[in-house]
Amino acid sequence: MFDDVAERYDLTNDVISLGQARQWRKAVAAAVDARPAQKVLDLAAGTATSSQPFARAGSYVVPCDFSLGMLRVGKQRHPWMPFTAGDATKLPFKDDTFDAVTISFGLRNVQDTDAALREMLRVTRPGGRVVICEFSEPTWEPFRKVYVEYLMRALPPVARTVCSNPDAYVYLAESIRSWPNQPELAARLTGAGWTKVAYRNLTGGVVALHRGFKRN
C-alpha cells in the first residue's frame, strides 16, 4: 500500500493535514534534540523527509522503513543517506546502538505495537530517548466529533485529488480512529520498559508527542 503512494506521499500529507504536517515535523525535531555526532534512528521514515532535521543538526541518522517503494523514492531524493529496510518488530541493529529513536505516524501501522516499543528500547543506548509522533484524540469534545467526521468523510475525497491510491487513505483514517489515546499509549511505553514517559498535545490533541528514556 505504501509502495503505491510513495511518489506523492509528502505532498498528500501536507494537503490532508491542512498544512500542519510541517509544524508537526518541527515539533518532533525539537523533542528529539539531535546533537552533532549522535546516532538517530528514524523509523517509518518513508522518503526521509522526517530525517532531514536530524541530519542538518549534525547527527548520523538512519532512515528505516518497511516499504521498499518508499525507500527507493527516498534514495533518489537523498542518495547520501543510509536508507535501511527493516521491520519495526525485528530491527536489524545491535543492542544499545542509537542515542535517539523516533517514529512519526508509523507506529499505528505496525502489526505488534508492544513488540515495536520493546525493539526500540533494545537498540537505544542506556540514557537514550524515544520520541513518538502519532495521531491521537482531540481533547475538546465538540472538535473531536468534527474531526472524526473529517477523517471518515472528507479525507478520502481530498486524498483522491492528489494521490493515486486514495483507498490507502481510507485505511489510514480507520487506523487513526482505532488507535489508543494519549494516556493509553503512555501506559504501553511504560509497559515496554521506557521510563520518565510523558506526552504533550499538538493541534488540540489531533497529534501527540510521546517521549521516554532508557534506564542507565
Q: Which residues are annotated as a binding site for S-adenosyl-L-methionine?
A: 47, 65, 87-88, 104
**14, three cell numbers:** 501536507
Q: How many C-beta neighbours within 10 Å does residue 37 have?
A: 9
42 CB-near residues (< 8 Å, 6+ apart): 48, 50, 51, 54, 61, 62, 63, 64, 102, 103
- Neighbouring residues of 159: CB distance < 8 A, sequence distance ≥ 6: 12, 15, 16, 166, 168, 169
Annotated binding site: 47, 65, 87-88, 104
CB atoms within 10 A of CB 153: 11
Q: Which three cell numbers stand for residue 118?
A: 520493546
